[in-house]
Structure 1
């Protein structure tokens, strides 16, 4: 891990000292994401309600420049000039390097069809079954730690050999008590909105750290 990557963790703790007890799990989560991207994997995120919005937010920070410009290099210039010369300059000016990530919360047609035909609480698990690979990481967000569809998504990710990270509140719920995730970041709050207020700086830090690692 680069020094600049580790600085993202220390900066988070200095700005939000309440998160200091989470530091070992924060470090483990950053290391897991670095390993994912080093092995050409992707992040898959899921959650319900406000946590669904957080899953989308995370994808937005990873799939384009967050704090860094992520300019594409000469290798991409050569590929663009060979494949689509008329678009090459425009692509190089505007496109940015990515950290591949997808959210499971917006598959409306699939989700409604599967919920109607099969089992609503398996809708995330079905998507992990179809899209998850061994080098991927599932980031499962549940303020209570008890969201059934998130629990099943974690189970499916384990069955597929994926890394798993959970974001929860203080208790961790079933995710923590049943050890459903490899890494569980339990922010020290109990009310849903207060948990969500701490989830935001945590996942911003994760995005900053991996961006520093690969584009810093």
Structure 2
């Protein structure tokens, strides 16, 4: 009985891996030029002493924090810290803004306060429809920030809101777990590219 259960679980694991690999391959085929465009534009912004703000909910909040940490600390090579800030980590700001203005404004108010012309907003939503991320995107445009939207499925409302100079990287998947797995690979690609563009090895 235990052997049968173990085999069944192993098959489930195999399907997870195979689905993740397929989603990453399909995404690569669709987003490579956009990913390159985002990396070079973000590197240019960082060269000009601009910063990258990041936001998302749940697993996407963790991804926003992960990306900001890779910038301020390091990715895979020693270098100076880069200005990346996750808007998901300040509990006093999140609860004050949420209490006074509603949860939909928790990121937008921070973008208004911290964002400057030429900065970037990394807006992460697996559906592309997260109301507070959409509000952050609107605030970013009002402040003169460019937007990198990480989405999935059909891109949601966020895909229709982007302006010239913005970039969407859409995971070619409909299952949330697969989208999140693709997003982390995209973020690691960006980290690697920023290291290479800003701190090339001799």
Match of 1:57 among 66, 70, 78: 66
Aligned to 2:190: 206
Are residues 1:155 and 2:138 paired? Answer: yes
How far the C-alpha of 1:28 sits from its partner, in A, is: 1.6
Question: Residue 66 of structure 1: CA displacement?
Answer: 1.4
Counterpart residue number, 1:125: 108
Tell me which residue corresponds to 2:84: 101
Aligned to 2:49: 40
> Matched residues in 2 for 1:103 and 1:117: separation?
21
**Shift, 1:123, TM fit:** 0.9
| 1:21 counterpart = 2:14 | no
Residue 110 of structure 1: which of 75, 93, 96 is its match?
93
Task: Report 1 or 2 for greater relative contact order, CA contacts < 8 Å, sequence distance ≥ 6.
Answer: 1
Q: Distance in 1 between matches of 2:156 and 2:86?
A: 23
Alpha-carbon contact 2:40-2:197 (below 8 Å) kept: no
Contact 1:32 1:163 in 2 (8 A): no
2:10 matched residue in structure 1: none
Q: Provide, for residues 148-167 of structure 1, a one-character-per-residue CA deviation record: whole Å limited to 9, x for no partner.
A: 00001011000011111000
RMSD: 1.3
- Alpha-carbon distance in 1 for matches of 2:101, 2:158: 24
Give the gaps of 5 or more residues in structure 1.
Answer: 1-15, 71-96
Secondary structure at the counterpart of residue 135 of structure 1: coil
Q: What are the Cα deviations for residues 29-81 of structure 1, in whole angstroms up to 9, with x where unaligned?
A: 112211211211011000000000000100111112211112xxxxxxxxxxx
Instruction: Answer yes or no: is the 8 Å Cα contact 2:128–2:152 preserved in 1.
Output: yes
Moved segments of 4+, more than 4 Å: none
Q: Deviations over 1:152-193 (max 9, x none)?
A: 101100001111100000310001134368211111001111
* Contact 2:53–2:122 (CA under 8 A) maintained in structure 1: yes
Give the secondary-structure state (helix, strand or coil) at the position aligned to 1:139. Answer: strand
Q: TM-score, normalised by structure 2?
A: 0.83
**C-alpha separation in 2, matches of 1:163 and 1:173:** 18
Provide the C-alpha distance between the structure 2 equivalents of 1:154 and 1:118, rounded to a whole number of angstroms: 17
1:134 to 2:117 alignment: yes
